[in-house]
Structures are given as structure tokens and as C-alpha cells.
Chain A
């Protein structure tokens, strides 16, 4: 998905799946944030996509351990509680 602000058009080499403008507006929600360069938004988007893949893989593993047939929210919870990397997610959802 490309946006009008995106000066890097989507090509076969450069691909991303989350729209940059959306990511940027989420970043801007925090009033304290400074100006952010377009390159930074791009890198942040890539990191986010990588994060989704990572979390999905971990949740999938949790699911296998439970011998479940369907990936459920509980499996994601389980991954969050197990892996210290996901600690930042801890306080957000109660």
C-alpha cells in the first residue's frame, strides 16, 4: 500500500505492507514526539512488520505446545508472559 506522502514507490525490491502514513499518524499521537524523517518512518514500519511476524511465530509455538487447533488470544498472552522481549506489552492490556 502506497500513500501520497511516500516518495519511495513500491517496487519489487522495496516492499512493505503497512501504510507509511498510517504508521506516521500513530507516531504523531504522542504529543511529545519530535519531527520524524520519512526514512525513519519507513524503518519503523519495517521493524513493526518484523515484530508481527515474530509475535505470530511465538504465538504459533504456544499453540503447538497446547496442542490446540486454533491460534487464540490466549496463545499470544502466553508468549507475552514468557518472553521478556514482550515486556513492554505487559501493562497495556489488562
Chain B
């Protein structure tokens, strides 16, 4: 017999569905009915046993299909094998809904960042910026060239100055 009064913290407690969750589910089904503590504990044990058995069955189905990862299909087949085929619809429906939700959220996260401009407008703006950059670069180049010109004219002028000074002696 299960010692339902055993509340010691043995390692099995870690591998057990949380009692509170199970109690709540039972309560939802039996709202005005009192349920004994022993019965609650027993429900938890049955729960664990169900998980073990279903998982084992699904594992077998998976092996038979020579797959390495247990898929929801295997779980569904296992449920059928165990006689719980009636669960199939509910489980699959819930899963489909959940998957749709995930897909929606994913689309939101990875979609393009929103902009107040259309693609064409953005392209035009970009072209405008390129044009401005080209003009500025050209301007810099022109300025540079003009500066160089100035400097060499200056140098030439000074040279001429120096030469003329000698000639001045003859003009007197």
C-alpha cells in the first residue's frame, strides 16, 4: 500500500507532478465534493504513472518508426494504443492554436522595422544624400586645387621679385 502520509523529502518528490496543480484540477471537476487527503495523493501517483506509461509507449512507437526524436504524432499513436484516443482531438486542437500563436509572434518580431516612409521614398532620400556627399567631395577637391594653384603662383611671384630686384639696378 502506498504510505500516503509519507511527506519526507525523498528524491521521488522532485520527480512528481506538483500536488497543488493536481488538487486544483480535481477541485475544478468536483466543486462541492470533499476529497480525502489520501485520495488526492493517490491522484498524484496515478498522474505520474500515466506520464511514465504514455512516455514509454510513445518511445516504443518512435523506435518502431526508427526516428530519434519523439514527435507529437508518436504521443497520439501511443494514446490510441492505450485506448485514450478520445484525447486526441482536444490535444491536437490545443497544439494547433498554440503553434499559430507562436508563428504570429515570430512574424511580429522578425518582420521589417516599420518606417513612416515607403521604400521608394527611402530610396530617393538615400539618392539625395549620395548626391550631397558627391558635391561636397567635389567642392573639397576644387578648394584643394585652388589652394595649390595659389601657393605655386605665390612661389613664382616671389621668385620673380627676387630676380627683378637685381634688374632694378640697371633702370636707375
Closest residue to B60 on the A side, CB-wise?
A: A32
How far apart are the CA atoms of A63 and B75 in the complex, in Å? 32
A interface residue numbers (CB < 8 A to B): 1, 7-8, 11, 13-14, 17-19, 22-23, 25-27, 29-30, 32-37, 39-40, 42-44, 46-53, 55-57, 59-60, 63, 69-73, 75-76, 80, 84-85, 88-89, 92-94
| Shortest CB distance B90–A (Å) | 6
Chain B positions within 8 Å of A, measured between CB atoms, are 1-2, 4, 14-18, 21-22, 24-26, 28-30, 33-36, 38-39, 41-43, 45-56, 58-59, 62-63, 67-72, 74-76, 79, 82-84, 87, 90-92, 94-95, 97-99, 101-102
B53 to chain A, nearest CB (A): 5
Query: Which listed residue (B22, B35, B83) contacts A85, Cβ 8 A?
Result: B83
**10 residue pairs bridging A and B, Cβ less than 8 Å apart:** A22-B18, A27-B52, A29-B52, A43-B95, A44-B51, A48-B47, A48-B50, A53-B29, A70-B36, A84-B83
CB within 8 Å: A-B pair count: 187
Which residue of A has the minimal Cβ distance to B90? A50
- Collect the chain B residues with CB atoms within 8 Å of residue A42's CB: 72, 95, 98
Select one of A32, A60, A76, A93 contacting B33, CB under 8 A.
Answer: A60
Q: How far is the CA of A57 from the CA of B156 in the complex (A)?
A: 110
New contact pairs (9) apart from A11-B101, A76-B43, A76-B46, CB-CB < 8 Å: A22-B16, A33-B59, A40-B72, A43-B92, A44-B58, A52-B47, A60-B30, A71-B30, A88-B49
A8 touches B101 (CB 8 A): yes
Q: Check B18–A18 contact: CB distance below 8 A.
A: yes
Given A14-B98, A18-B18, A85-B84, CB of A43 within 8 Å of CB of B43: no
Flag if B50 contacts A71 (CB, 8 Å).
no
Q: A19-B21, A34-B62 are in contact. Are A56 and B43 (CB under 8 A)?
A: yes
